[in-house]
Amino acid sequence: MSHLKIPDSELKRVIIIGGGFAGLELAMRLSKKQFQVILLDRNNFHQFQPLFYQVATAGLEPSSISFPFRKLFQGIPNFHFRLTDVLSVDAEAKNLETSIGTIEYDYLVCAMGATTNYFGLKDLEQNALPMKSVAEALGLRNTILSNYEKALAIDDEKLQQAYMNIVVVGGGPTGVELAGAISEMKKNILPKDYPELDFEKMQVYLVEAYDNTLSAMSANSQLNSERYLKKLDTIVLLKTAIQAYDGNEVKLSNGELIQSKSLIWAAGIRANKLKGIPDQTYHRNGRIKVDQLNRVPDCPGVFALGDQCISIEDSNFPDGHPQVAQVAIQQAKNLAKNLNKTKENSFSYTDKGSMATIGRNLAVADLPSLKLKGFIAWLLWMFVHLFSIAGAKNKLLIFINWAWNYLTYDQSLRLLIRAEKKSK
């Protein structure tokens, strides 16, 4: 394979795989230091994952939660980006193979993120709707809107309801926020767009295998989230698992059958793997097990970062660190400091809290010394997420969209955008 074309440099070369929260934070900190930084990603933009669900429910446009890598690093001569898939690594030779060529490195940082985990259920893998990227969120939006257009042309009430019903699987923050947003659409938006349909027949289900939603949060937040969902007429099914789904009918572990053309899978993730990393290094759900300095065992010069990508032994978090962006960002900050000085500091996570929004004025937040709910938690959630978005223009666009939606109970982003098939 040909060599990947990167300008020669006297600086030490750091290759970062993945431009998520961890990869982007590290690249921004190292690119200003004495390193040649090369960022590799299969997309040419950073994606703000916490707001995927708002793209899926037509609350935001995909461009408002995405930001091009090249624009972020304009004018930085020691930074380079390449759009590619990473195939394998030879840790002994310090050589990385990609789909566009091979390249040597001094330090390699794996921050590949995660993909959807269907737990071996092949029918779900084929028929369920995932939401792990901007493209998948846009595809989900298209599917939901297409189904209501199809429902208009159907006389069979049972089949019509199947097109209208939506099942969300997974009671974590993504599932709870998505179910709440869809329930608000059912109440405030869809009846105006489709007055010929009877939305009293539409049901929004949230299915969770455990005995509560938001299992990583406090008991009060769990109870409040369930109460808010029920307030929005979401049917919450706890201690219930999905047994099968053929694209038309959902079979539950309690024996219940739900007719639905839209099953959204938000129930699990599995870390992306890199060929060449020793098999014994991988931990639960495919995570790379690293030491307190984020070093990958038996791979000199190789590090791994990310709340979804790695596992670190920590007595304060025996079940692993929370799967939130702050974990990834703090790991990246610590590694940047370690690479820039001789004294190395072990990673220690500072928990700044967690939060989830269920609907308009309805949210929960667990802060280190305070538990919030309702309108105050909702305002805090909006402020934190708005502050975290890359780019001043994106911040402004999102703020305008949120303000307009709050004032009008409506948003005019319900567009079916699909590539037309070429006729042969």
SS3 27: helix
Q: Are residues 133 and 262 in the same domain?
A: yes
The pLDDT of 10-31, averaged and rounded, is 94
Lowest mean pLDDT among 13-17, 228-232, 282-286, 358-362: 282-286
Q: Mind listing the pLDDT tens digit for each residue in 261-315?
A: 999 999 988 888 999 999 888 887 788 999 999 999 999 999 999 988 888 888 8
pLDDT greater at residue 342 or residue 361: 361
- Write down the pTM of the prediction: 0.91
Q: Is the pLDDT of residue 224 over 70?
A: yes
The pLDDT of 372-393, averaged and rounded, is 92
Q: Are residues 307 and 322 in the same domain?
A: yes
Q: Is the pLDDT of residue 420 over 80?
A: no
**Residue 423: per-residue pLDDT:** 54
Total structural domains within the chain: 2
413 occurs within a structural domain: no
Lowest mean pLDDT among 67-71, 115-119, 249-253, 381-385: 115-119
State phi, psi for 331 to the nearest 5 degrees: -65, -45
Helix or strand holding residue 227 (H, E): helix 219-231
**Residue 342: per-residue pLDDT:** 66
Give CA–CA dist 365/370, Å, rounded: 8
Final residue belonging to a domain, choices 267, 283, 298: 267
pLDDT greater at residue 50 or residue 411: 50
Token pair 């390193």 is found at 35
The pLDDT of 107-124, averaged and rounded, is 91
Helix or strand holding residue 288 (H, E): strand 288-290
DSSP for 110-135, please give it: E---EEE--TT-HHHHHHSB--SSHH
**Residue 34: per-residue pLDDT:** 85
Helix or strand holding residue 289 (H, E): strand 288-290
199 occurs within a structural domain: yes
SS3 328: helix
Q: Are residues 261 and 218 in the same domain?
A: yes
**Residue 197: per-residue pLDDT:** 93
Q: Are residues 100 and 35 in the same domain?
A: yes
- Confidence tier at 218 by pLDDT (50, 70, 90): very high
Q: Are residues 134 and 230 in the same domain?
A: yes
Q: Is the pLDDT of residue 424 over 60?
A: no
DSSP strand pairing (35-41 vs 79-83): parallel
Q: Are residues 129 and 202 in the same domain?
A: yes
421 occurs within a structural domain: no
pLDDT greater at residue 13 or residue 419: 13
Lowest mean pLDDT among 5-9, 128-132, 409-413: 409-413
88: left (phi over 0), alpha (psi -120 to 50) or beta: beta
Share the mean pLDDT of the chain: 91
| Lookup: tokens for 398 | 């999102």
Q: What is the CATH number of the domain that holds 97?
A: 3.50.50.60
Q: Are residues 130 and 105 in the same domain?
A: no
6 occurs within a structural domain: no
Count of positions (residues) in the chain = 424
**Residue 341: per-residue pLDDT:** 82
Give CA–CA dist 294/305, Å, rounded: 7
29 occurs within a structural domain: yes
Considering only CA atoms, which of 178, 173, 186 is closest in space to residue 140? Answer: 178
Q: Mind listing the pLDDT tens digit for each residue in 393-415?
A: 889 989 988 998 888 877 766 77
258 occurs within a structural domain: yes
- Confidence tier at 239 by pLDDT (50, 70, 90): very high
Percent of the chain scoring above 70 in pLDDT: 97
230 occurs within a structural domain: yes
Beta bridge partners of 270: 115
Final residue belonging to a domain, choices 320, 339, 358: 339
Give CA–CA dist 16/229, Å, rounded: 40
- Confidence tier at 101 by pLDDT (50, 70, 90): very high
Domain that holds residue 234: 122-267
Final residue belonging to a domain, choices 221, 241, 267: 267
Q: Is the pLDDT of residue 422 over 70?
A: no
Q: Are residues 199 and 333 in the same domain?
A: no
Considering only CA atoms, which of 180, 166, 172 is closest in space to residue 230? Answer: 180
47 occurs within a structural domain: no
Q: Are residues 242 and 320 in the same domain?
A: no
Give CA–CA dist 157/201, Å, rounded: 9
SS3 173: helix
Q: Are residues 129 and 109 in the same domain?
A: no
The pLDDT of 21-29, averaged and rounded, is 94
HSE (CB half, 13 Å, CA atoms) of 161? Answer: 10
**Residue 139: per-residue pLDDT:** 92
Q: What is the CATH number of the domain that holds 178?
A: 3.50.50.100
**Residue 374: per-residue pLDDT:** 96
Q: Are residues 109 and 219 in the same domain?
A: no
- CB–CB of 173/160 below 8 Å? no
Q: Are residues 168 and 251 in the same domain?
A: yes
